[in-house]
Chain A
Amino acid sequence: MKDYVDTGKVYLELYDYPLMSIHPGALMAAQAANCAAEQGAYAQMRSRLFTGSRDQAWRDGSMDDLTLFGDYASAIGIDRAQFESCVTTNRHLPQIKADIAFAEQNGIRSTPTFIIRDRLYAGAQPYAVFKQVLDTMLDPP
């Protein structure tokens, strides 16, 4: 990030592609992230959600998960009531659906997937891979 985004070489856009058939809590998590974004805390909520997922602290988009996401909102210092209202009213569902449509339109079937210019990279990649791809694009041989 600091090598490419902060230096003005890369503009990074983050899209939601919740794999709802195998990850039943992913849609609510995407909504939580977008609702946190309303209050300027997208990155912080995203980090909490990934950590919680790794630790299996949330699973299926249940009311317990909603409560936990509310706890995340409180912990990162955003308005919890506003956040929970946003999530429960599906305020960002149209945006998430647009992301899903865009992903599927471009043949994306798994996460994480990256599109760098017009090239698609499926799966998590080591930093060295990104560095090689980006450096080659920035300074073609």
Chain B
Amino acid sequence: MNRLALWCIGISFVASSCGLTPAATQPVDLNGAVSLLSERSPNPRAFGDPKAPIVMREFSDFQ
């Protein structure tokens, strides 16, 4: 991934902080997931190695 793309994503992480809320976790069952990005090809909205040990999914809107 080029530096510009990395920078843009980094900025996005910061910008998406508008809805600051306390950390919260809960189990999520992905077995019934539909239309995962990882099942789509090509996938311009994914970054890194698809074979990486961890898959991280971010859900965001732009407002």
Q: Report A's interface with B, CB cutoff 8 A.
A: 1-2, 4-6, 8-19, 23, 25-26, 29-30, 33-34, 37-38, 40, 42-44, 46-47, 49-51, 53-54, 59, 95, 98-99, 101-103, 105-108, 110-125, 129, 134, 137-138
Main secondary structure of the interface of A (DSSP, over half): mixed
Candidates B33, B48, B60; contact of A105 at CB < 8 Å: B33
Q: Report B's interface with A, CB cutoff 8 A.
A: 1, 4-13, 15-30, 32-38, 43-63
**Judging by beta carbons under 8 Å apart, are B16 and A50 in contact?**
yes
For the A-B complex, the count of residue pairs with Cβ-Cβ distances under 8 Å equals: 226
Candidates A53, A95, A134, A137; contact of B62 at CB < 8 Å: A53
Minimum-distance CB pairs A-B, first 7: A123-B21, A50-B15, A23-B63, A124-B17, A29-B62, A98-B35, A43-B8
**Judging by beta carbons under 8 Å apart, are B30 and A2 in contact?**
no
Please, which residues of chain B bring their CB within 8 A of the CB of A106? 28-30, 33
